Amino acid sequence: DTGVSQNPRHKITKRGQNVTFRCDPISEHNRLYWYRQTLGQGPEFLTYFQNEAQLEKSRLLSDRFSAERPKGSFSTLEIQRTEQGDSAMYLCASTPFSGTDTQYFGPGTRLTVL
């Protein structure tokens, strides 16, 4: 399968714990995006990378959220001191090159914070 993959698919954690998600984009896609989606809403932009450089972050992204893409391939999204409001689907998407290109989404990681 050469699509975008995300791990884990589901994560249940207790409030206050740290969690880390991984995204493996389509090979040779140099742009990678992270989104958060809650029930009844569309995906909400969090941040994006071009290769290993994090070029943009949403104003809504609190200091508890951090993302990396150290070698320009896979990316990780870490949430520290999780809160119940962090419960959502976290989606990763990649595009070949331009910001105007089609985005290919992974299956998402569903986070539940108890």
Partner 1 sequence: RKEVEQDPGPFNVPEGATVAFNCTYSNSASQSFFWYRQDCRKEPKLLMSVYSSGNEDGRFTAQLNRASQYISLLIRDSKLSDSATYLCVVNFITGNQFYFGTGTSLTVIP
90 is an interface residue for partner 1 by CB under 8 A? no
DSSP code, position 8: -
Burial of 42 (0-12, 13-18, 19+ CB in 10 A): exposed
- Binder of partner 1 out of 23, 67, 91, 113 (CB under 8 A): 91
Site size with partner 1, rule: CB under 8 A: 24
Binders of partner 1 in range 24-53 (CB under 8 A): 31, 33, 35, 40-45, 48, 50
**Residue corresponding to tokens 């108890």:** 114
108 is an interface residue for partner 1 by CB under 8 A? yes
User: Residue 96 corresponds to which tokens in the numbers above?
Assistant: 């070949």
Give the Cα separation of 63 and 47 in Å (integer).
13
70 is an interface residue for partner 1 by CB under 8 A? no
Kindly tell me which of 45 and 74 has the beta carbon lying closer to partner 1: 45
DSSP code, position 94: E
Interface contacts to partner 1, rule CB under 8 A: 31, 33, 35, 40-45, 48, 50, 55-56, 58, 91, 99-100, 102-108
